[in-house]
Structure 1
Amino acid sequence: MKRISVLGPGTFSEESAHHFLGAVPHQLIPCKLIADVFQAVVSGRADLGVIPIENTLEGSVSQHLDWLVHEVDLPIQAEWVYPITMNLIGRAGPLEGIREVLSHPVALGQCREFLRARLPRAEVIPVGSTSEGARQVRERASETGLAAIGSAASAALYGLDILAGHIEDHPDNATRFVLVGPEPLVLSRPGRSKTSLLVTLPADFPGALHQVLSVFARKQVNLVRIESRPTRKRLGNYFFFIDVDSPLSAQPMPEALAELDSLGCSVRVLGSYLSHGV
């Protein structure tokens, strides 16, 4: 049985993990913070960790990407996309009385329009996860005017009411999750081969990034995502996250990586894995 660390309990990470793993024997290990999810895998308390890394509305979750690069060396073993339905949860009562809304910053960002239109006077309080927001609302039972944004599962877990459903700003809201850990997870479900790379340029000069992209273009390798993040070494120095629509072992990927090496680029493979849709 695989031990899987997730933000939780009562989070979208937990919900999506159960959906994705399906019949695979697994035990979920709930963690309060994303750092705890990573550390559970590093310490051996968990075999794999579930990390949300990108959302339809908010884009990449920068803190989680930075953990993959700077704090741990855990390869990506799989990824999947899971639809997200946000709910305003709390104790039954008029919305006009809500003075604080607690949730994860990414969840809050997905519901900006609802908060602006329906709760313009409420203070927005970021917490470590959507479930943590719901937990705090329950624990502060003596206080009035508190609500959280999260899943229906977190409302049920903490004995709260759904005050408003489907409050996300866009109906096609979805989050991309990755499974990280030292060993692959064997799944019977089909998926698309994908490779994630971290590329560092040898120097900052006009056309440096163009050289890198041209290598993939000449080899006819499709790039499905590219994003820059600071290296933390000096201002203006960046890594480039590149997702490639190809397995690492299939030609012409080895040739492309060899050519990047000849250009003086540093290339770290973050994972070569199967990508699964909704």
Structure 2
Amino acid sequence: MTDAAATPPDETYSYLGPAGTFTEAALKQVPEAAGRPWRSVNNVGEALADVTSGRSVAAMIAIENSIEGGVSATQDALATVPGLRIVSEVLVPVNFVLVARPGTALEDVRVVNAHPVAYAQSRGWLERHLPEHGHIPSSSNVQAASSLFDPDCAADAAVAPPGITEHHDVAVLAREIGDNPNAVTRFVLVSRSRVLPEPTGADKTSLIVELPSDEPGALLAMLEQFSTRGVNLSLLESRPIGDALGRYRFVVDLDGHIADERVADALLGLRRTSPNVIFLGSYPRADQREIEYHAKYDDEIFIEARDWLRGLLSGEPD
């Protein structure tokens, strides 16, 4: 990683900073970002603005957490900022440490500084070991720790990433304080590229879909576009559109690549029935798990059906 100042934008990668965040850890897993300049930003909006303005070639952002589900700020931004594509995904195991200024003991802690998501994922541990503690929200996990050295800081300790000691002179009071040892956050690398990664057989496609109307069966009709073609959904979440109460869009992750016949056919069905379908990209799954589906949904089945119809229309003999 190098400094992003005065660097060509086609070489710069943006991420939610400062250094030491889980987002930075995710970006470290991207081979093409190695040795390139990285630009630390304050929020998802700033990261995506870097990409749309051309300031950065791509941005790493969190999109889903195994404990709390989708990251609403990211989902809403991807729905409203045009011209973006997800080109890859990364999984980062998430756990936390409790840190304090050197010389502070666990029994001295009365107030804890923590990002709201980190606090929610470690609240059980904190309530068991610090039952009378107070909480001050922080803008990021790293900022929670760095703020301990601010003269006006009212916190005695902070919930932070395990690698925080590489960046700040803090004492670790406790390790692995996350309530779920299996917690994982999914990050995506977002760019303006229209070049689709080649299908691997272990792919994911992300969409945002609006229903054509608010009436009984509208959601079922949308889901049938996938089920009748053997396409499994790994994520389905609703987010308010914002123009009226009760109006929602759906964030969808499905198994497969747009180049797969069953997926392409499902997208055609969606486009015919939904007023707005945003294609966010097809890209390799981070877990590299090969997609399984019934043989009746093989590419060859769809191709043969189209050839059969074409023959009927052209008057070819049976």
TM-score by length of 2: 0.79
Q: CA separation in 2, counterparts of 1:127 and 1:35?
A: 17
The alpha-carbon distance between structure 1 residues 260 and 124, as it changes in their structure 2 partners (threshold 3 A), is: same
Letter in 1 for 2:67: L
Q: Which has the higher contact order (CA 8 A, sep 6+)?
A: 1
Q: Aligned match of 2:145 in 120, 126, 134?
A: 134
Letter in 2 for 1:124: H
2:203 aligned counterpart, secondary structure: strand
> Does the alignment pair 1:119 with 2:130?
yes
Q: Aligned match of 2:113 in 95, 102, 120?
A: 102
Contact residue 75 and residue 270 of structure 1 kept, 8 A:
yes
> Does the alignment pair 1:30 with 2:40?
yes
Q: Aligned match of 2:22 in 12, 37, 44?
A: 12
Q: Which residue is equivalent to 1:81?
A: 91
1:196 aligned counterpart, secondary structure: strand
CA shift for structure 1 position 144? 6.8
> Does the alignment pair 1:267 with 2:286?
no
Superposed, 1:1-278 pairs within 5 Å as 2-8=11-17, 9-21=19-31, 24-71=34-81, 73-91=83-101, 92-140=103-151, 145-183=155-193, 192-277=202-287
The alpha-carbon distance between structure 1 residues 72 and 94, as it changes in their structure 2 partners (threshold 3 A), is: farther
Contact residue 135 and residue 158 of structure 1 kept, 8 A:
yes
1:50-95: per-residue Cα shift (whole Å, max 9, x none)?
1011112222211221121124542111112111121111124222
Structure 2 stretches of 5 or more lacking a match? 1-9, 289-318
Q: CA separation in 2, counterparts of 1:252 and 1:68?
A: 25
Contact residue 223 and residue 244 of structure 1 kept, 8 A:
yes
What percent identity do the matched residue pairs reach? Answer: 34
- Aligned alpha-carbon RMSD (Å): 2.4
TM-score by length of 1: 0.90
1:93 aligned counterpart, secondary structure: coil
The alpha-carbon distance between structure 1 residues 270 and 107, as it changes in their structure 2 partners (threshold 3 A), is: same
1:4-54: per-residue Cα shift (whole Å, max 9, x none)?
111121111112211343884432211233332222222222111110111
Contact residue 52 and residue 175 of structure 1 kept, 8 A:
yes
Q: Which residue is equivalent to 2:305?
A: none
Letter in 2 for 1:224: S
Q: CA separation in 1, counterparts of 2:174 and 2:128?
A: 13
Letter in 2 for 1:28: W
Letter in 1 for 2:122: C
Q: CA separation in 2, counterparts of 1:14 and 1:115?
A: 26
2:178 aligned counterpart, secondary structure: coil
Contact residue 194 and residue 272 of structure 1 kept, 8 A:
yes
1:245-267: per-residue Cα shift (whole Å, max 9, x none)?
11112202222222223324421
1:252 aligned counterpart, secondary structure: helix
Deviates more, 1:261-270 or 1:154-163: 261-270
Letter in 2 for 1:7: L
**Which protein is bigger by CA-based radius of gyration?**
2
The alpha-carbon distance between structure 1 residues 170 and 66, as it changes in their structure 2 partners (threshold 3 A), is: same
Q: CA separation in 2, counterparts of 1:138 and 1:273?
A: 42
Q: Choose between structure 1 and 2: higher strand proportion.
A: 1
